[in-house]
Amino acid sequence: MLPPVASRFVAGESAATVLEHARQCNEDGIGVICNRLGEHYHDRAPADADAAAYERLAADIGASDLRACLSVKPSQLGLLVDEDVFRENLARVVAAGADHGVFVWMDMEDHTTTDPTLDAFEHHARERGGGVGLCLQANLRRTADDLRRLADCPGKVRLVKGAYDPPNDIAYPTQSRVNEAYRADLEYVFREYDGGIAVGSHDPEMLTLAADLHTKYGTPYEVQMLMGVRETAQRDLASVCDVWQYAPYGSSWPAYFWRRVLERKENALFALRALASG
Ligand code: FAD
């Protein structure tokens, strides 16, 4: 069972709990991106099972009036088992999304997965004329080129700084250089894209820049933030722009929870206080 301390970052263990979380967020004007926790599968069975769970979730969202969508991890759908397994499972989830009118995001994992993830996204985005989105990481030197490649592609792009630690020859070495790349990438997409831009960041500086670029170029965009992070800001922003919250759920919550707790001092203090009072 999910302990109360984890429920700040994880929307329960079942599909029903993430849908209930979506209902509550929707009341605050925030859409929800549902991510079933699971990654790095080396066997086909769990990858197939997660694809089936996403198909059911797409049907449940489609049958509801919720503003909710999906986000999948390539290694959760079998990329490390075999590229064909990944492609088959992704095709199932994307088809279910299209059948039920539910948008499907693809998270971006470590740099060894960038090419197959990008190729799979582009295939579905062009074939279906949209309905899918891809996360790109500003810390990778290649991302400016990838953004140019996708400029005329339907679908959406979520720009993040990058949560993995790629080798120096393919990535920017310092946080300030990553921030510089993020600012340049934002300027590029607001100038060159017709829309379909998601700013995946909690950074007040980047959110202000996005708002300024929106004013300058008139390009529509949305902000995406994680469940449990700057939630007051999420609610405030929802009154001025489109805001989506990325909400993970599922029984594999411990690894995700500890990642969140350990990445920032504020999160660790929150966890310690919650444990001390509980
Ligand atoms: P940082 O650069 O970490 O921090 C900048 C400033 O933002 C801080 O100084 C602070 O003011 C504010 N801030 C940041 N975090 C917090 C916090 N916890 N509490 C309070 N203030 C905070 N990465 C991937 O590699 N692949 C993905 O598919 C992916 N998907 C994502 C989806 C979403 C919706 C989001 C929000 C992030 C995703 N990420 C993904 C993670 C991303 O790459 C970054 O690691 C993460 O968002 C931290 O960068 P940042 O821009 O939010 O802020």
- pLDDT (0 to 100) of residue 248: 98
202: CA distance to ligand 1 center in Å?
5
- Measured from CB, residues less than 6 Å from any atom of ligand 1 are 107-108, 135, 137, 160-164, 200-204, 224-226, 229-230, 246, 264, 266-267
pLDDT exceeds 80 at position 135: yes
163: CA distance to ligand 1 center in Å?
8
Pairing of strands 68-72, 132-137: unpaired
pTM summary value? 0.96
84: CA distance to ligand 1 center in Å?
31
203: CA distance to ligand 1 center in Å?
7
263: CA distance to ligand 1 center in Å?
10
Q: How far apart, in whole angstroms, are the C-alpha atoms of residue 260 and residue 241?
A: 26
- Taking CA atoms only, the protein residue closest to ligand 1 atom 19 is 229
Pocket test for ligand 1, best of 71, 142, 159, 161 (most atoms within 8 A of CB): 161
239: CA distance to ligand 1 center in Å?
21
248: CA distance to ligand 1 center in Å?
15
Q: How far apart, in whole angstroms, are the C-alpha atoms of residue 95 and residue 214?
A: 32
- Taking CA atoms only, the protein residue closest to ligand 1 atom 22 is 202
User: What is the four-CA torsion angle of 44, 48, 54, 55, rounded to 10 degrees?
Assistant: 160
- pLDDT (0 to 100) of residue 178: 98
**In this predicted model, which residue has the larger pLDDT, 271 or 157?**
157
Residue 5 pLDDT level (bands cut at 50, 70, 90): confident
Q: How far apart, in whole angstroms, are the C-alpha atoms of residue 255 and residue 248?
A: 12
- Domains of the chain plus CATH, in order, are 12-252 (3.20.20.220)
Going from the C-alpha of 272 to that of each of 114, 128, 249, the distances in angstroms are 36, 47, 22
Q: How far apart, in whole angstroms, are the C-alpha atoms of residue 132 and residue 122?
A: 9
pLDDT exceeds 90 at position 119: yes
- Taking CA atoms only, the protein residue closest to ligand 1 atom 43 is 162
3-class DSSP state of 59: helix
Quick: pLDDT tens for 74-90.
999 999 999 999 999 99
Give the number of the atom of ligand 1 that is nearest the alpha carbon of residue 226: 36
pLDDT exceeds 70 at position 278: no
